[in-house]
Homo-oligomer: A and B are copies of this chain.
C-alpha cells in the first residue's frame, strides 16, 4: 500500500510509492565522461573567469594566476547581482530589482576530481571557503539569505563539469526557508524544543534511517524523503546558522560529507545530485528554533506533471531501504591520487 508521509517541519506531503518500489540497480544512471578541454575553471585558465574574489593559494603567487587550491570568482551570468535599484513597480503585479550576489567556488585545480575523492585537507578547505564566503556575503548590504549549493552532473543542472559549488545571495528570505522557519517556530512555541534537535534524537534512537555518524554530525535519510536516497547531514549540537561552524565541527563535517557521498556515489554509480545548504536568514543566527543542515538530493527520478501540479512528490524508494543500502555500502579509499595532488600543491 502506498504511504502519504508528512515532512514534520514544513508539513508538506510526499508519496512513498511502494507499488513502484525501486532498488539502486533500477535507476539507470549513465555517468558522464568528463571532457575537459578549454575549461575556464582549470588551473592556468584564470584569465577566462571574471577577476578572482578570493582564493586559498601558495604564498607569493599572484591573484588570477596558478598556485591556488580553492578559488572564488563571480558568476559570469549572475542570477542576481549588486547594482543600482531597478524599477520597483507595478500596477497589478509586484517586481523588485534582482539585487544580490552570485559567486562560483572552484573546488580544486583538478578538472577530474570529486568532492568525495579529495584528500581530507582539500575537502576541509572547500568547506572552510563555504564558511568564509557565507560570513562575508551575509554582511553585505540588503542581503537576507545566502544559499550555497552544488550541482553535480548535467541532469542536476551543472553546466560546467569542473568541480564547483555556487553561492547566490538573495534580498529576501526564500519561501522554502520561510516555511521551515514558520514550522520550526510553531513547534518551538508548543514543545519548547528545536524540532531538528528532536528529529536527530528520534533518528538516533530508531536507527533505521541513519546513514553515518561522526563526533559532531549525523547523516540520515529523512522520513518524508522526496527523492530516492535523499540524505540530510546535520550538526548534532543545536546551531541555527552555518556561519557559526567552529573548527572542530569543520573537521567532523568534512568527514561525514565525504563518507556519505562515497556511499551515495559508490552505490548509485556516480549519480547526478544537488547538495543544498539550509541555514538561518540574516538576524536569526542564534534562533533557538532553527538548525542548519545540508540536504543531498540524488536526481534519479523526474519531477513531472503531478508534482508541478500538486506540490506532492512521488518517491519510489522508502528512506528505510535507502538508508540500509547506504549503511551497508563500504567506503572505498580513492584518496591515493588526491593525496598526491595535495602534496604537489603545498
What's the Cα separation between A93 and B312 when bound, in Å? 17
- A174 close to B92 (CB less than 8 A): no
> In the complex, are the beta carbons of A2 and B79 less than 8 A apart?
yes
Using a Cβ–Cβ cut-off of 8 Å, how many residues does chain A contribute to the interface with B? Answer: 74
| Chain B residue nearest in CB terms to A226 | B308
Question: With an 8 A cutoff between CB atoms, is A97 at the interface?
Answer: yes
Nearest chain-B residue to A159 (Cβ)? Answer: B302
* Contact indicator B1/A97 (Cβ below 8 Å): yes
Complex interface residues of chain A between 246 and 305 (CB less than 8 A to chain B)? 274-278, 295, 297, 302-305
**Is A306 within 8 A of B147, CB to CB?**
yes
**Residue in B closest to A100 when the chains form the complex, CB atoms:** B2
A86 near B156 (CB under 8 angstroms)? no
Task: Let me know if A8 is at the binding interface, CB within 8 A.
Answer: yes
Copies of this chain per assembly? 2
Q: How far is the CB of A105 from chain B (nearest CB, A)?
A: 12
Q: Select from chain B the residue with minimum beta-carbon distance to A21.
A: B77
Q: Which 7 A-B pairs have the closest CB atoms?
A: A157-B304, A2-B98, A149-B305, A174-B310, A176-B311, A276-B309, A175-B311
Supply 17 further A-B pairs (C-beta < 8 A) apart from A2-B79, A3-B97, A176-B309.
A1-B97, A4-B95, A4-B172, A6-B93, A6-B94, A12-B175, A17-B98, A91-B202, A93-B224, A156-B304, A156-B305, A157-B302, A157-B303, A168-B306, A176-B311, A274-B309, A295-B309
A86 pairs with B1, CB closer than 8 A: yes
Chain B: minimal CB distance from A296 (Å): 10
Inter-chain contact B147/A310, CB cutoff 8 Å: yes
Interface residues of A: mostly helix, strand, loop or mixed?
mixed
Chain B: which residue is nearest A312 at the CB level?
A: B174
A residues 60-116 touching B (CB-CB < 8 Å): 77-81, 83-84, 86, 91-98
Asked if A133 is at the interface (CB within 8 A of a chain B CB), the reply is no
Chain B residue numbers with a CB within 8 Å of A308 are: 149, 274, 276, 295, 297
CB distance from A42 to the nearest CB of B (A): 22
* Nearest Cβ on chain B to A290's Cβ, whole angstroms: 15
Contact across chains for A170 and B312 when beta carbons are under 8 A apart: yes
Please name the residue on chain B nearest to A305 by beta carbon: B149
The residue that A174 contacts in the complex, of B19, B96, B311, with Cβ under 8 A, is: B311
13 contacting pairs across A/B (C-beta < 8 A) = A1-B81, A4-B98, A12-B175, A15-B80, A17-B77, A17-B98, A147-B309, A147-B310, A149-B308, A175-B311, A175-B312, A278-B309, A297-B308
